Amino acid sequence: MSLNNLYSRIFALVIFVFAAFTDLYDGRLARKFGQVTKMGQFLDPLADKMIVTAALISFIRIEDLSIPAWIVIVIIAREFIINDLRDLAVSNGVIIAVSKAGKWKTVIQMVSIITILLLVVIKSMVTDIDWFNLLMQKTIFWLMILTMAATVVTGLDYLTRGARELLDKKVFSDS
């Protein structure tokens, strides 16, 4: 993405789409064939976080996108917080299951990133068209707001469910 040319941006789009779809189908195949493992349950959300974080950080560097860094920081902070909560829970024998909302959050993140990458590729092909630049800016802004909102809402859901389960297990008691 940082190379700022059409071919590198097409390559970034292809790589991200490939990573997103392999992540999606890996989970589906594991469930279909009964191959769900603890390692997979740990690595799958980690892979999601890694590709989303890498894309969002690269977006901040692209001036044409004008993505506020604070939105990216909120999204990444949520991922760290929930990851640490899950680690705490697992170390105390508590599993915080992925919710449907959490899965939708990941879909929203992936679709938003793919859309932004596609817009960046188009922008590399058609330069200085005022209406497209305005449309691109507005679309990207609202995609990032939607992504951040889904991330925060599901983060609060995980925090409340996780805290409840940890309190039920008396993880925070002194005894």
Q: What is the pLDDT of residues 146-165, one digit of tens each?
A: 999 999 999 999 999 988 88
Please enumerate in sequence order all residues whose Cβ is within 8 A of that of 39, keeping only pairs 6 or more positions apart, or say none.
none
Q: Is 33 in contact with 84 (CB distance < 8 Å)? A: no
5: region left, alpha or beta (phi > 0 left; psi from -120 to 50 alpha): beta
Closest CA to 152 of 89, 109, 96: 109
Number of domains in the chain: 1
Does residue 173 form part of some domain?
A: no
81 to 6, 73, 84, 97, 111: CA distances (angstroms): 36, 12, 5, 15, 23
Q: What is the CATH number of the domain that holds 110?
A: 1.20.120
Structural domain of 163: 6-168
For residue range 107-156, list pLDDT tens digits in order: 999 999 999 999 999 988 887 788 888 899 999 999 999 999 999 999 99
pTM: 0.87
Does residue 24 form part of some domain?
A: yes
Does residue 163 form part of some domain?
A: yes
Does residue 175 form part of some domain?
A: no
